[in-house]
Each structure stands twice: as structure tokens, then as C-alpha cells.
Amino acid sequence: MPKHALPTAAEYQNEPVRYPALRLVDLNAEASAIERQYKNIVLNQMNNSCLRLAVIQGEYPWHYHPGSDELFVVLEGCLFIDLADGRELRLEPKQSVTIPANMVHRTRAEIRTVNLLFEELAAETIFLETPPR
């Protein structure tokens, strides 16, 4: 996948879990190993949820998750989350926000941004060309 390519909905939903329970994860090492402008990996699974590490620079497409809330925690950089109703959320390091299931949104970052995401494991993603108004 080129540095700028985004995963399909199926690739996102089927991302394998990288670390089992009781295994330490070095978040800095994982983030440093990602060279792409966008990469989202599943680090751990907890019950029916997962912890993802996401690196983003640029815009991710408009989308929503019908069956899962999505909790974002910014580790480094600045993450913008645009909502279909016109609101823009700006998250700096050590800030978080939860996007409810079925809420259309897109993430974007002007500079490389590293985030943690908590959501249902294998959450379905529906992509949209433009947000509904």
C-alpha cells in the first residue's frame, strides 16, 4: 500500500490484533515504526472492544460506525475531527473525545498525529463521498 493509500472498510474491520493479553506494548516504538501518512492498527483486544493506534497526516474520508462509539485520545500532534453538522473538534495531546455510533465524521491532521482509539473490535465502517446535510 503506498504511503498515502487508505484502507478499505473490509481491511479496517479485519485488522488483526497484534498483542495478546499480558504482553507489554511500546506505543512509542509502534508509532515510530509507521512511515505511512495514514495507518491504523489494532494493538489489543478487551472483551468485544479494541485499542487501536492511528497515525494520520492529511484527511481521512467521511464515515461512520453503525454499531460502535469511537473514543479518540491524542498522544502527539493535533487531530481535527469534522462533524457532518459543521462542527470541528480540535484535540491536542492528552485530550480525548468520544464520537457516538452512527455520527458521520472525518479525521484530519495537518502534521503527523498519533492517536489511540477505543472502539468495538471489527467495527463496521461506512464511507460517504460527502457528509449528509
C-alpha 131/C-alpha 83 separation (Å) is: 8
What are the backbone dihedrals phi and psi of residue 108, each rounded to the nearest 5 degrees, phi first?
A: -155, 155
Alpha carbon dihedral 86, 77, 95, 17, in 10-degree steps, equals: 100
Give the pLDDT of residue 9: 77
Give the pLDDT of residue 114: 98
Closest CA to 113 of 14, 6, 34, 45: 34
Q: Give the mean pLDDT of the chain.
A: 93
pLDDT tens-place string over residues 70-107: 999 999 999 999 999 999 999 999 999 999 999 999 99
Domains in the chain with CATH codes: 9-127 (2.60.120.10)
DSSP assignment letter at 17: B
Give the pLDDT of residue 3: 45
Its pTM stands at 0.91
C-alpha 64/C-alpha 7 separation (Å) is: 15
